[in-house]
């Protein structure tokens, strides 16, 4: 995958290139993880080089980054799995981020991670990375994108609200969440809570399974009806 387009920050256009990442990008990808997942997120979940090697060797089409003026601004990493709605954890479905579970004959493009460096946020890079994997799903004729979203805003309200009420409140617009709301704005729909999805204190270890369905494949029977 390779394309460039203009995005805008503070009304000023800048060119962003979307491309597959490779070995020469590994140091920057690890820096991005450190910036994007500070404590209390467990540092042992940041990318290790061995995982990145697997991403580019096992499914290079699904290893995508955004570059601005020669610097990596963000990345998204995916694999293909067979999933028809079963509950799962991040560790199980992604082989703990090493994508040994990649199945070229699967039906779903599954998001392992998306992250954008803080200084580039809110300028559309996350959305563009998400669009790039929608293009990949259409190109590969898969049924859907799935992935468990963090819900880091939950920590602040968990003493007064159940996780389901928290998600319902995001959907009805009573409050927002830094990741779930971003994903909704980028086209993904919340499907269900996944308890013990990932060690993530801010999300009380919950994930929210979120889908995007390939509009060109109507045979899909994953989760939602539309
Ligand atoms: C989540 C993340 C990838 C968003 O990246 P980004 O480049 O800032 O997102 P975009 O600029 O494309 O935002 C797209 C839309 O989401 C909105 N959005 C972005 N961050 C948001 C937030 N914190 N709260 C509410 N909405 C948000 C934007 O305002 C924009 O809305 P619009 O379409 O109405 O203009 C980035 O904040 C990040 O890397 N977070 C830390 C890592 C992480 O938790 N990743 C998720 C793993 S599941």
Position 45 scores a pLDDT of 87
- Residue 221 domain-assigned (yes or no): no
Total number of domains in the chain: 1
* Each residue's pLDDT tens digit, 171-189: 999 999 999 999 999 999 9
In-domain check, residue 66: yes
Q: Kindly report the protein residue whose alpha carbon is nearest to atom 27 of ligand 1.
A: 182
Minimum CA distance residue for ligand 1 atom 28: 122
| Residue 101 placed within a domain | yes
Whichever domain contains 149, its CATH number is 3.40.630.30
Cα 76 to averaged position of ligand 1 atoms, centre (Å): 13
User: What is the predicted pLDDT for the residue at 86?
Assistant: 87
Is the Cβ atom of 19 under 6 angstroms away from ligand 1? no
Question: Does residue 222 sit within a domain?
Answer: no
Nearest-atom index, ligand 1, CA of 147: 48
User: Is a pLDDT exceeding 70 seen at residue 219?
Assistant: no
The confidence score (pLDDT) of residue 16 equals: 98
Q: What pLDDT does residue 223 have?
A: 64
- In this prediction, residue 217 carries a pLDDT of 86
Give the per-residue pLDDT at 100: 97
Q: Decide: 174 and 104 in contact? Cβ < 8 Å.
A: no
Nearest residue by C-alpha to atom 26 in ligand 1: 182
Is residue 86 a part of any domain in this protein?
A: yes
| Distance, CA of 31 to CA of 38 (rounded, Å) | 11
What residue's CA is closest to ligand 1, atom 5? Answer: 126
- 41 lies in which domain range? 2-213
**pLDDT value, residue 78:** 98
For residue 220, the model assigns a pLDDT of: 57
Give 33 Cα–ligand 1 centroid separation in angstroms.
Answer: 15
Regarding beta strands 108-116 and 144-149, do their DSSP bridges make them parallel or antiparallel, or are they unpaired?
parallel
Percent of the chain with pLDDT over 90: 90
How far CA 221 is from CA of 69, 108, 143, 214, in Å, comes to 42, 12, 9, 11
16 within some domain:
yes
- Smallest CA separation from ligand 1 atom 39, residue: 115
- Specify the pLDDT at position 131: 98
Q: Band of the pLDDT at 221, cuts 50, 70, 90?
A: low
206 lines ligand 1 (CB under 6 A): no
SS (H, E, C) the chain: CEEEEEEEECCEEEEEEEEECCHHHHHHHHHHHHHHCCCCCCHHHCCCHHHHHHHHHHCHHHEEEEEECCEEEEEEEEEEECCCCCCCCHHHHHCCCCCCCCCCCCCEEEEEEEEECHHHCCCCHHHHHHHHHHHHHHHHCCCEEEEEECCHHHHHHCCCCCHHHHHHHHHCCCCCCCCHHHHHHCCCEEEEEECCCCCCHHHCCCEEEEEEECCCCCCCCCCCCC
Q: What percent of the chain has pLDDT over 70?
A: 96
Q: Is residue 103 part of a domain?
A: yes
Contact, 75 vs 115, CB < 8 A?
yes
116 lines ligand 1 (CB under 6 A): yes
- For ligand 1, atom 4, the nearest C-alpha belongs to 126
Are the C-beta atoms of residues 180 and 151 closer than 8 Å to each other? yes
Cα gap 15→34, rounded to integer Å? 25
Residue 108 in domain: yes
pLDDT of 25 = 98
pLDDT mean across residues, the chain: 95
* C-alpha distance from residue 173 to each of 97, 139, 191 (Å): 32, 33, 16
pLDDT tens by residue, 11-62:
999 999 999 999 999 999 999 999 999 988 989 889 999 999 999 999 999 9
């Amino acid at each position: 995958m390779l394309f460039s387009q203009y995005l805008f920050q503070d009304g000023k256009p800048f060119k962003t290139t979307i491309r597959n990442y490779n070995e020469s990008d590994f140091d920057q990808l690890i820096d991005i993880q450190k910036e994007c997942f500070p404590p209390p997120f467990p540092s042992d979940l940041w990318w290790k080089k061995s995982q990145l090697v697997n991403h580019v060797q096992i499914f290079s089409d699904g290893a995508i980054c955004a570059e601005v003026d020669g610097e990596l601004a963000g990345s998204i990493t995916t694999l293909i799995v067979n999933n028809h709605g079963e509950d799962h954890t991040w560790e199980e479905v992604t082989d703990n981020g090493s994508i040994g579970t990649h199945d070229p004959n699967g039906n779903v493009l599954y998001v392992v991670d998306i992250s954008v460096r803080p200084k580039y946020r809110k300028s559309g890079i996350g959305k563009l990375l998400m669009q790039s994997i929608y293009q990949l799903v259409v190109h590969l004729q898969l049924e859907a994108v799935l992935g468990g979203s963090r819900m880091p805003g939950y920590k602040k309200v968990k003493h007064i609200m159940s996780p389901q009420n928290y998600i319902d409140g995001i959907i009805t617009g009573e409050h927002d969440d830094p990741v779930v709301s971003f994903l909704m704005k980028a086209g993904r729909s919340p499907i269900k809570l996944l308890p013990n999805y990932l060690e993530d204190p801010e999300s009380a270890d919950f994930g929210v399974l979120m889908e995007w369905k390939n509009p060109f494949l109507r045979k899909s029977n994953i989760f939602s009806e539309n």
